[in-house]
Amino acid sequence: MNRVALITGGARGIGKSIALALAADGWSIALCYRTSADAAEETSAELRALGAQVFTTQADVANPSECERLVRETLTTLGRLDALFNCAGPYHRRAILEETHAGWHEMFDNNLHPVFYLAQLVAPILKEAGWGRIVNFSMANADRMVAQPFVTAHYIAKSGILILTRTLAKVLGPDGITVNAISPGFIDSGSAPLEELENMTRHIPAGYIGELDDVVGAVRYLVSEEARYINGANLQISGGWGL
């Protein structure tokens, strides 16, 4: 069966790696990006080279109407939708008492809210099919609810994703749909300088920075039939960081 995955933030980093892995496994890919047009074009070419059907579009998933268009055009172009991967999730570092109102709202608008918008849109599609996978991306340590003076809004939004994941899992589980979270720690995804990442290794019990393949392996498992009984879980991929 040719399944279809919708991936937000799929032009670069973790989202791109997921797209390439699923394409290699025979999936068709709907790729969504917000600003990375050149990267999205490059990723689309790589996916097509793997023989995958690809639909690529720019969409601001912080906007509910853009989410509606994204899902509608995915169905029109690829004919079906089987899995949703909420990988988009920008962040900024700013001391909490220096945070702006706009910056505060930006973290929720671009991290937490799109997960709700898109899950609400794809749920009826997956329910009708009687099968589906939703994978949301949080962050390692988000379940501990510890103080985060410099990434406060981002951290709260990522913690909210875990609550939303569990809620969706409970609601959609009876329909053959699993909803799980992946919470990466320090992963060499190209979004941070390698030197900065390597400075964190002393805090990671495993002693090294994670690779994109570490995340891809978890995703492949969660979308498989072997993981059909895993629902509402939060899989930390951090080498033990944050324990």
Residue 242 lies in a domain: no
Q: How many domains does the chain have?
A: 1
- Reported as a single tens digit per residue, the pLDDT across 119-172 is 999 999 999 999 999 999 999 999 999 999 999 999 999 999 999 999 999 999
Place of tokens 């979004």: 191
Q: What CATH number should be reported for the domain holding residue 205? A: 3.40.50.720
Stretches where the chain sits below pLDDT 70 are 1
pTM listed for this prediction: 0.96
| Chain center to CA of 89 | 8
Q: What does the pLDDT read at residue 18?
A: 98
Cα separation, 241 vs 4, whole angstroms: 33
Residue 243 lies in a domain: no
Q: What does the pLDDT read at residue 189?
A: 84
Residue 170 lies in a domain: yes
Any idea which residues carry the catalytic annotation? 155
Cα separation, 183 vs 112, whole angstroms: 14
Cα separation, 115 vs 168, whole angstroms: 10
Q: What does the pLDDT read at residue 243?
A: 85
Residue 193 lies in a domain: yes
Domain with 173 in it:
4-237
Percent of the chain with pLDDT over 90: 91
